[in-house]
Structure 1
Amino acid sequence: MELLKPPMVDRRGDNPETSVWWDKLTLAQKFSASSLGKSGYELVCIRNIEGEGVAILECNGGVATISAEGEINAGAQIKLRED
């Protein structure tokens, strides 16, 4: 007799690729966002900072940014609007 196991649940949250913002990222940003997504970060928006599209990701209250060149700043001091 075989025991049924409950389905595995991914507790890391959604992958950034499911975000409506995904198509607006540069290729370098997509690589970096995918990397952060494995740690639970979610892509929440893209902001124009000094003429450059900067991706904003959030995880457990922490915020990370990704420059157009794909550089990750996990200690970003950006205030997000709350819904």
Structure 2
Amino acid sequence: METPTMSPSDISTSKVPKHERRRGKFGSAQWWECLSMDQKFGVYQLSKFGFELAFIRNLPDAGPLAVVRRDRDYATVNQSGEVNLTPELIIRD
């Protein structure tokens, strides 16, 4: 079964305040499609240790950063596939 991919512009924003950047919830399949091949490999390696892809944070200087989580533990994978097991992230719940 194929999952259709979505872009942030496909998500309805009518109920989201203008100052809010989050526009909707992507599932892991949609986030997975946004990763570079190097990031997919890094995330796949982390998944062997129980991590799951949570979201992608777009950084102005560094590009997309994949954020994975296992319970309350977070790790990141940058665009070139480098894994950081102790990232300095501010996570909104």
Tell me the TM-score normalised to structure 2 length: 0.65
Corresponding residue for 1:76? 87
Aligned residues: 65
SS of equivalent residue, structure 2 residue 49: coil
Amino acid paired to 1:62? D
Unaligned 5+ residue runs, structure 2? Answer: 1-26
Higher RCO (CA < 8 A, seq sep 6+): 1
Structure 1 runs (4+) deviating above 2 angstroms are none
Q: CA deviation at 1:60?
A: 2.0
Verify the 8 A CA contact 1:41 1:58 in the aligned structure 2.
yes
Unaligned 5+ residue runs, structure 1? Answer: 1-17
Q: Please tell me whether Structure 1 or Structure 2 has the larger radius of gyration of its CA atoms.
A: 1
Partners of 2:62 and 2:71 in 1: how far apart?
A: 28
Corresponding residue for 1:32? 42
Tell me the TM-score normalised to structure 1 length: 0.72
Counting aligned pairs with the same residue, the percent is 34
